[in-house]
Amino acid sequence: MSFPSSSVGLVKPFPVRFETPLALTCGQDFGPYELMVETYGELNADKSNAILVCHALNASHHVAGFYEGTPANMGWWDNMIGPGKPVDTQRFFVIGVNNLGSCFGSTGPRTVNPATGQPYGASFPVVTVEDWVNAQARLADYFGIERFAAVMGGSLGGMQALEWSLRYPKRVANCAVIASTPKLSAQNIAFNDVARQAIVTDPDFHGGDYYSHGVVPRRGLRLARMVGHITYLSGDDMSEKFGRALRTGEYKFDYGVDFEVESYLRYQGDKFADYFDANTYLLITKALDYFDPARHTQGNLTLALKPVEAKFLMVSFSTDWRFAPERTREMVQALLKNQRDVVYAEIDAPHGHDAFLLADERYHNVVRAYFERVAAEVGA
């Protein structure tokens, strides 16, 4: 079999079923449920070399490699995870998991509720980062993993990694929190609410039960993605990529496409509306909004992070205005005040929030060096 050099190559996702309901933050006991999973590399004999990768808003368990028949559909962090890559699958056993409520195979709003024979739709509970971490801990149990060598993620994935260190301090040796934040700002929440309002006011939303109407709220999803996408890129990066370039070289004096940037954003919106579930978009943005570990310590993040035992890698990117470097520095400061072990890198990169997904050499070198230490710790 041939596959791209240093990719994990052909992979195959599989569902893991949990019969016992999960107690959710909202008060509901939810289950049975399934989580869709992928793994790369081999779990060692003492099960000490496992790494859990947590995904962000629109990603999934498909972290690395590709599927039979669709070689172009590479995992979202394939540049980071694979043989010889910064997170080396020759040394680590890496787990990708699709979160509860997502739309890539795990139980979510699109799943048929066995109690009704209809998709959960609007009745699917609003889940939280805490709920996801609890669900992931059960997945660790399923694999017989007592303690992860590392839990890692970017953006919303970074929030899950941080929450792991809080909720299961004994079960995570290292946390890699990349391009993340200890809580959303009012502006972050505002952008999320624009996206949600675009979806719920789309007449095809039908109060969340659009499945039974044979439609999806495409207009709303498309707008949600357009506004989200703007916040993932830096202003300078957009200027560099698109500037004021015109599609046809001249103004058209109508409301079609004039500028390349319009064409790009609409295309991204259309593509997203083709595959993403609107109810999932709602609940994941809500999980983002709700995340705030210092909520129960009167906003005191240092106090909130006191239970943490893991060592940390934190990375931020200079032009990320969604979750700016200042936000990561708050976490670094709070951990240092708790005498925790933190490696922090602020990468000067032009690509805004999306930089965490890109193969920037300095960024990857920082991650590589950190995971070499992790490998040494666990004898991998």
- Judged by CB under 8 A, the chain residues 114 through 153 that form the site for its own copies are 125-126
Q: Which of 165, 151, 163, 159 is nearest to 180 (CA)?
A: 159
Q: Which stretch binds its own copies (CB under 8 A): 61-69, 169-177, 253-261, 309-317?
A: 253-261
Of 88 and 354, nearer to its own copies (C-beta) is: 354
Find the radius of gyration of the CA atoms of the chain.
21
Find, among 194, 209, 192, 219, the residue nearest to 284 by Cα. Answer: 192
Binder to its own copies among 292, 330, 346, 377 (CB under 8 A)?
292
Mapping DSSP onto H, E and C, the string for the chain reads CCCCCCCCCECCCEEEEECCCEECCCCCEECCEEEEEEEECCCCCCCCCEEEEECCCCCCCCCCCEECCECCCCCCCCCCEECCCCEECCCCEEEEECCCCCCCCCCCCCCEECCCCEECHHHCCCCCHHHHHHHHHHHHHHHCCCCECEEEEECHHHHHHHHHHHHCHHHECEEEEECCCCCCCHHHHHHHHHHHHHHHCCHHHHHHCHHHHCCCCHHHHHHHHHHHHHHHCCHHHHHHHCCCCECCCCCCCCCCCCEHHHHHHHHHHHHHHHHCCHHHHHHHHHHHHHCCHHHHHCCCHHHHCCCCCCEEEEEEECCCCCCCHHHHHHHHHHHHHCCCCEEEEEECCCCHHHHHHCCCHHHHHHHHHHHHHHHHHHCC
From 11-19, 58-66, 143-151, 283-291, give the range in contact with its own copies by CB under 8 A: 283-291
Residue 201 contacts its own copies per CB under 8 A = yes
Instruction: Based on the shown chain and the rule CB under 8 A, indicate whether residue 251 belongs to the binding site for its own copies.
Output: yes
Should residue 278 be labelled a site residue for its own copies when binding is judged by CB under 8 A? Answer: no
Per CB under 8 A, does 57 bind its own copies? no
124-148 per-residue burial string, b: 16 or more CB within 10 A, e: under 16: bbebbbbbbbbbbbebbeebebebb
Residues with catalytic function? 155, 320, 353
Query: Which C-beta is closer to its own copies: that of 44 or that of 302?
Result: 302
241 binds its own copies (CB under 8 A): yes
CB of 257 to its own copies, least distance (A): 9
Residue 269 engages its own copies in binding (rule: CB under 8 A):
yes
Q: Which of residues 305-324 bind its own copies (CB under 8 A)?
A: 321
Among 88, 258, 320, 354, binds its own copies (CB under 8 A): 258
* Binding of residue 196 to its own copies (CB under 8 A): yes
Tell me how far, at minimum, the Cβ of 225 lies from its own copies, in Å: 10
Among residues 35, 52, 223, 314, the one that binds its own copies under rule CB under 8 A: 223
- Rounded to whole angstroms, how far apart are CA atoms 378 and 204? 52
State yes or no: residue 47 binds its own copies (CB under 8 A).
Answer: no
From the list 10-18, 96-104, 141-149, 238-246, the region that binds its own copies by CB under 8 A is 238-246
User: Which residue among 16, 43, 139, 230 contacts its own copies (CB under 8 A)?
Assistant: 230
Nearer to its own copies, 355 or 380 (CB): 355
The CB-of-166 to its own copies minimum distance in angstroms stands at 18
**How far, in Å, CA of 92 to CA of 161, rounded?**
17
Question: Among residues 51, 57, 226, 308, which is the contact residue for its own copies, using CB under 8 A?
Answer: 226
- Residue from the set 186, 248, 298, 361 that interacts with its own copies by CB under 8 A: 186
Which region among 159-167, 236-244, 312-320, 370-378 touches its own copies (by CB under 8 A)? 236-244
- Tokens at residue 101, please? 């409520």
Identified binder of its own copies from the candidate list 123, 259, 338, 358, rule CB under 8 A: 259
- For its own copies, the binding residues in 5-34 under the rule CB under 8 A are 25-27
| CA 346, chain centre distance (Å) | 20
* Binding of residue 190 to its own copies (CB under 8 A): yes
Site residues for its own copies per CB under 8 A: 25-27, 125-126, 183-187, 189-191, 193-194, 196-198, 200-203, 219, 222-223, 226-227, 230, 233, 235, 238-239, 241-244, 251, 253-255, 258-259, 261-262, 265-266, 269, 282, 286, 289-290, 292, 321
